[in-house]
Amino acid sequence: VVFLGINRASYIKKGIPYFEKALRIIQEKYIEKVTVIISENLPYKDYINLYYTAQIVLDQIYAEDQGYNALEAMAKGKVVFTGAGKAFMDHYNLTERINVNALPDVDYLVNELSFLIENPESIVTIGKRARAFIEREHEYV
């Protein structure tokens, strides 16, 4: 299950059109394997109930690091498409993926989503690393 939460107020600045285009391709390519949930301008309670069902969360394209939504999803062990480029990896001394670096490139997004869909064990592995990262770097104390 792939989740995309859309807020029209931040639609362009979060790169949502790239995610939407990639999801259309993914839905056609994996019609029997993938469920795509797109929510728009929902109350938080409704948004969170839908998002809990997902294994993959599409957050934002132009980020250099994670915002609150991405961190919350990572804490739940989800694979998040967000800011995770070289600067992020270097800053946290990471050698393994804890999320997917989202880029403004539809083909790249389709390839990354396809890999995860075709290799579901990677979703579990990255999700566990994401949770461990949150515990290590964002522990509330």
pLDDT at 61: 96
Q: Place 83 in a pLDDT band, splitting at 50, 70 and 90.
A: very high
pLDDT at 92: 95
Across the chain, which distance is largest between two alpha carbons, in Å? 45
Cα torsion 48, 64, 133, 55 to 10°: value is: 40
pTM of the model: 0.94
